[in-house]
């Protein structure tokens, strides 16, 4: 199970709906798992990862 602080690469399947930040500049984006198999978009900064900062509870 993914947890806050875990980092993911572009192209990885989004494990949990939540807020993720660029590991380079800290810019935040919200990604959801509404679409099964949805993957992370290209990195916000070259070589950066997407880091989980807040998990969005399922409705
Ligand atoms: Zn960035």
Q: pLDDT tens digit string along 21-44?
A: 999 999 999 999 988 999 999 999
CA of 35 relative to ligand 1 center, distance in Å: 24
Domain count, the chain: 1
pTM: 0.91
> Which residue, among 8, 17, 16, has the nearest Cα to 41 in the 3D structure?
8
pLDDT level of residue 1 (50, 70, 90 thresholds): confident
> Which residue, among 59, 40, 48, 35, has the nearest Cα to 2 in the 3D structure?
40
CB 7 within 8 A of CB 40: no
**Residue 59: pLDDT above 70?**
no
Residues with a beta carbon under 5 angstroms from ion ligand 1 = 22, 24-25, 27, 44-45
Beta bridge partners of 39: 13
CA of 27 relative to ligand 1 center, distance in Å: 6
> Which residue, among 51, 3, 59, 4, has the nearest Cα to 25 in the 3D structure?
51
Range of the domain at 50: 1-59
pLDDT at 7: 98
């Amino acid at each position: 199970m993914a947890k806050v602080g875990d980092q993911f690469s572009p192209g990885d399947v989004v494990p949990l709906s939540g807020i993720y930040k660029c590991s380079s500049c800290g810019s935040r984006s919200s990604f959801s798992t509404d679409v099964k198999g949805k993957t992370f978009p290209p990195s916000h900064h070259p070589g950066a990862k997407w880091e989980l900062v807040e998990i969005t509870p399922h409705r």
